[in-house]
Amino acid sequence: MSVTYYLAVDIGASSGRHILGHVEDGRVILEEVYRFENNPEEKNGHLCWDLSRLFSHVLEGMRACRTAGKLPVSMGIDTWGVDFVLLDREGKLLGDAVAYRDGRTSGMDVISEKCVPFEELYERTGIQKQVFNTLYQLTALQKEQPDLLERAHRLLMVPDYLHYCLTGKKENEYTEATTSALVNAKEKTWDWELIDRFGFPRRLFDELRMPGYLLGGLTPQVQEAVGFDCTVRLPATHDTGSAFLAVPAKDEGGVYLSSGTWSLLGSENREPITTEASRKANFSNEGGYEYRFRYLKNIMGLWMIQSIRRELNKEYSFAQLESLAREADQFKSRVDVNDESFLAPKSMMEAVRAFCRKTEQPVPETVGEVVQCIYGSLADCYAASIQELEALTHRSYTAVNIVGGGSKDSYLNELTAKASGLPVFAGPTEGTALGNLMVQMIAAGEFPSLEAARKAERNSFPIQEYHVE
């Protein structure tokens, strides 16, 4: 019996993976065929992404599909948000792909607010203030390299650019574009008045395409490189947009938590919430599949644990770090995980210790105490964010539904259940890739609707449960 395969290329800020999916007896079957690391590097005084290396990994993973004899009929790429590239009239790259953790955006919010007060910006876009938003990156570019903007003909977000490399088509996908803080939440398109007031050239921005949009086939060059052709279809290219699609909602009254390098906690709404209370709570209205809004808070997430592991030269596995944290469970100092000092410190361990000193708490000395401090702080932040979410949405939530790599972190899940007082349902792990695949499968007629795809997903993957003791 022939099998119809679909390929999700899911690239996060620390790693990427190629996941093949197919439907068998109404169940979704996943298979990882390729995995690679992804980290920004210093270049020309900035922290940058090596997009040529990233694209070479995209191609290598596609070749792995061919080697396995499992050729996809369609594929799509999702990545993190906010970062972009500029192209000239010939479609060639201008400048570097500067990463959101680079320090160039420091103070750019103050400069941009001279053009548009943040209160008005939030009311129009519904996007929370984060110093690395595309808006502030463009403001930094205006200040540092205005000639690049003058020469640029198009702006493509990172997944848009990778899709362009595959197909030769320059398209802006909606869910990723909303992370720029330049899309009008109510109109669901670029806010041209804002773009004009900030002084960005209109030619950089083109019509927004929705998840499911058909880009077409691979370029002849890519076909030759990978040994086959397939359809390229836009998923929700922002990884959180794909992850929220794949929340199986074991409890329909639960909040969604996409747990990985970042933790994105929130709910799915049909209309944006751009009230003053929402702005003050720093919740975001990111665009989603079928114009469903991901109403969420960005929380620093497992980036802090990942950073400590790198700092220790990967001497410890993640499981060993978790075990050390469990042994230090009596250590009760806590940090504000959303503090900017944790965005890109030279030493994450020292940043945690410095925060504890500054707030006059016991300073963690051992690795276990540092990691315990982070785990406990994340769980407490999740619990506080759920309380804020309930007040803003006027709903009472009854569970926490977790997808993504963090769903495997049993200790953090236990602490989250304890801190929130809610049961935690964890899984599937590859939530982002699964959401990417679901869009492709719906477009191909494997499922008639998102609801049907989610139902199939609930029957396809084990969900680990953590209950309040």
Q: How far is CA 343 from CA 82, 107, 203, 337, in A?
A: 15, 15, 32, 9
Contact 417, 411 (CB under 8 A): no
Walk along the chain (469 residues) and give the pLDDT tens digit of each residue: 689 999 999 999 889 999 999 999 999 999 999 999 999 999 999 999 999 999 999 999 999 999 999 999 999 999 999 999 999 999 999 999 999 999 999 999 999 999 999 999 999 999 999 999 999 999 999 999 999 999 999 999 999 999 999 999 999 999 999 999 999 999 999 999 999 999 999 999 999 999 999 999 999 999 999 999 999 999 999 999 999 998 876 556 889 999 988 999 999 999 999 999 999 999 999 999 999 999 999 999 999 999 999 999 999 999 999 999 999 999 999 999 999 999 989 999 999 999 999 999 999 999 999 999 999 999 999 999 999 999 999 999 999 999 988 999 999 999 999 999 999 999 898 899 999 999 999 999 999 999 999 999 988 998 899 998 7
| Residues 366, 373: Cα–Cα separation, whole Å | 11
Q: How many residues are present in the chain?
A: 469
* The pLDDT of residue 248: 77
* The pLDDT of residue 252: 65
- Find how far residue 458's CA is from the centre of its chain: 22
The pair of structure tokens assigned to 116 is 């548009």
Q: Provide the CATH number for the domain formed by 247-427 in this structure.
A: 3.30.420.40
| Residues 230, 250: Cα–Cα separation, whole Å | 34
* The pLDDT of residue 342: 96
Query: Start-end ranges of CATH 3.30.420.40 in the chain?
Result: 5-233, 247-427
Contact 41, 50 (CB under 8 A): yes
Q: How far is CA 9 from CA 52, 120, 269, 454, in A?
A: 16, 36, 27, 20
* The pLDDT of residue 13: 87
* The pLDDT of residue 247: 86
The pair of structure tokens assigned to 196 is 């004009």
- Flag whether the pTM goes above 0.85: yes
Contact 432, 409 (CB under 8 A): no
The pair of structure tokens assigned to 359 is 């707030």
Give the burial class of 20: count Cβ atoms within 10 A of its Cβ; 0-12 exposed, 13-18 middle, 19 or more buried. Answer: buried
Contact 51, 77 (CB under 8 A): no
| Residues 33, 20: Cα–Cα separation, whole Å | 7
Q: How far is CA 140 from CA 22, 150, 363, 420, 464, in A?
A: 44, 14, 36, 39, 44
Q: Give the H or E element holding residue 333.
A: none
Cis check: omega of the bond before 428, within 30 degrees of 0: yes
Annotated active-site residue 239? The verdict is yes
* The pLDDT of residue 386: 97
Nearest to 238 by CA among 293, 190, 196: 293
| Residues 317, 402: Cα–Cα separation, whole Å | 22
Q: How far is CA 174 from CA 156, 204, 429, in A?
A: 12, 15, 25
The pair of structure tokens assigned to 205 is 């921005």
Burial 250-273 (b: 16+ CB within 10 A, else e): bbeebbbbbbbbbbbbbbbeeebb
DSSP strand pairing (97-98 vs 46-49): antiparallel
| Residues 193, 6: Cα–Cα separation, whole Å | 39
Q: How far is CA 144 from CA 45, 102, 136, 147, 182, in A?
A: 12, 14, 12, 9, 20
| SS3 call for 34 | strand
Which residue has 């790198």 as its token pair? 310
Give the single-character DSSP code of 254: P
Strands of the 5-11 sheet, one edge to the other: 27-37, 15-24, 5-11, 72-78, 231-233, 214-217
Q: What is the DSSP string of 391-441?
A: HHHT-----EEEESGGGG-HHHHHHHHHHHTS-EEE--TTHHHHHHHHHHH
What contacts 189, CB < 8 A, 6 or more positions away?
183, 207, 208
Q: How far is CA 127 from CA 183, 201, 278, in A?
A: 9, 21, 10
Nearest to 269 by CA among 290, 294, 244: 294
The correct CATH number of 5-233 out of 1.10.3720.10, 3.30.420.40, 3.90.1200.10, 3.20.20.70 is: 3.30.420.40
Residue from 83, 160, 191, 239 carrying the catalytic annotation:
239
Long-range contacts formed by 344-351: CB under 8 A, 24+ apart: 344/47, 344/101, 344/102, 344/103, 345/307, 347/311, 348/304, 348/307, 348/308, 348/311, 349/308, 349/311
| Residues 32, 434: Cα–Cα separation, whole Å | 11
